[in-house]
Structure 1
């Protein structure tokens, strides 16, 4: 038997058990496993030869867990698994999640505060963080402005999109690899993507989307390079984000897109995933 491989992990027990039952019903050797982290309920693949089929089924389940075929499989096996409706809001759960990922939470809070201050007319943080042409940066020495655009946003849709992806993916990376890894990815991708956008189109841009695309690239490539770590994105989500990246270059949207920052951020995330895997291999051989 092969070393068990984490196929997918959930924050609740019911969907993990439901998927486990369905996979077994399809002749795939898996088991349910509980751990102590945020996504504590895992489906473990016991035979690597079933990996391709199992990943396809898992992706379909994540997209539509309420499909009747999953509950039917549970009934046929003699078990009933009811998916518990997610509560709309729980202050205690929200506070717990924030404490589990302090760096992810901090960037989220900073971006929201800066945006809300701008909405009531306090635009000082915008001017202090706005990136400047390279020549001015060299003269002023205000190198923090290379990070600055990642923290400023210009509309509700802009900040909502970026904060959703930052929280979802950043929390996974921080709880899996620790705060230092997410900090390095944030600084690396923000500086490189912002500097690239500056050189291509000038200083009039902002947003966390370059870093968000770095998170996407990192999780995407980790799912490919090291699937046993349990981090991955469904193929439809990857496809949507890549298509959105291409659409930005077509100049058909009513808003200006920081296309260079998005592309360079994606590349930074892929490179960082390779770095994490290489570092882990180096440590394991020592």
Structure 2
């Protein structure tokens, strides 16, 4: 454990700095953590810090994802009603299928298509980390994960400003705008910001729809594990963090988690995920991350536009 301490402490110092900057300047905390981490890339090969950085990027990441289950209850999902639930299920499935097809057409690997499409369809940076954790190992996996985090975080910030204006211009009422915001913007923080900028009712609707997308993350991860096993012919290890996510969600739904403990779990989850992003940033150089070229960016942008267009069309038609 002593060998892990310097790297772990470094990752959490970067997480604290990113949190401070985010709270004072309003930019996404994940983006700050990533950029500061990449500025410290020279420490990735330092023997005193390397083990702790790797531990934070892999093991603590999984703990943070599992604790996300404390943010959601089945009651919140049920409150949405049939229409938003159907909308989210159709959009999630269609966006992942479209993303895989788009990646193939543009000459990218299926794993890159799954990573980006899953992030767009589910919950941005958190989904990128969860999906990356169960994808087959490759030389580009960490680089692609960081690229995806940057891309979906940046697009979420742009969408936070543009989507409320766009949906209002189409003529949707405030509740429908909230549902669309929750169904289409990638990261939770930007969903909350965009929703409550419209109205309290829109903010509540956006948050609940977004939490439904988050709740579907372990389902997608488990299905992905089965597909990877079939594709490789080898039995992939069961993602324990996804199962723990479901157990915590169930316990939270049954009011088995005291309110104070639930708040602590949510806060710990946020810190662990920010520290994991910082550690991934330290492990990856800026130059290497963008070696995929403009095609990588075009894929994520096209997936984002597809999701927004599909959700809007479905609500207009039905």
Tell whether the structures are fold-level matches, with TM greater than 0.5.
no
- Larger fraction in strand: 1
Greater C-alpha radius of gyration: 1
After TM superposition, the score normalised by the length of structure 2 is 0.26
- Larger fraction in helix: 2
